[in-house]
Amino acid sequence: MLHLTELMLLLSMAVAGLLSIGEPLPSLQGKDLSGTSIELPAAARGDVTLLIVGFSYDSRVAVEDWAKRFRQEFERLPGVRFYEVPMIGGMARMGKWFIDSGMRRGTPKADHGKVITVYGGSGDWKKRLGYRDGAAAYLILLDRTGRVRYLYQGKMDSAAWRKLASTTRQWMQQAR
């Protein structure tokens, strides 16, 4: 039997619209590290795209681990892309200039277009992704039309990696 707090959490996730497999990705807007405005899923249309979302500084290791592994396997293949998506909410938004400049310094210039920083709206996205852990990466795999095909939250895990890789390959094949 569910406890009252668990029931309240489930109800709040249902009201907020928990993201589900097969749904189109709701609009997500931010700027890449070069300063270019990006709106997803429109910017990803035509490619199988992995979004690796982080909600806190503590998530950076998990986000970077997933990005590194995905890059090793898929970066050279046509029709596949990924974005790291740091979501900055609350009072941290006031430090936007410092945060952006620090991320630019810590990211090779060639990768600036692969990091989309989103300021604001993180509460809605936490609800959509069932946020539980500030140190976790939140993965969203989109097919070429912008529909969600895989969701995962957590640190790099071999079973989750195998599932992500096979789902990515499946949607690459279906799109041809």
Q: What is the pLDDT of residue 17?
A: 83
- The burial class, CB within 10 Å (0-12 / 13-18 / 19+), for 49 is buried
The proportion of the chain whose per-residue pLDDT surpasses 90, expressed as a percent, equals: 63
Of 48, 57, 29, 26, the closest CA to residue 116 belongs to 29
pLDDT above 80 (res 107): no
* Coil, helix or strand at residue 60: helix
Q: Which domains, and CATH codes, for the chain?
A: 19-174 (3.40.30.10)
Of 58, 28, 37, the closest CA to residue 129 belongs to 28
pTM of the model: 0.83
pLDDT above 70 (res 14): no
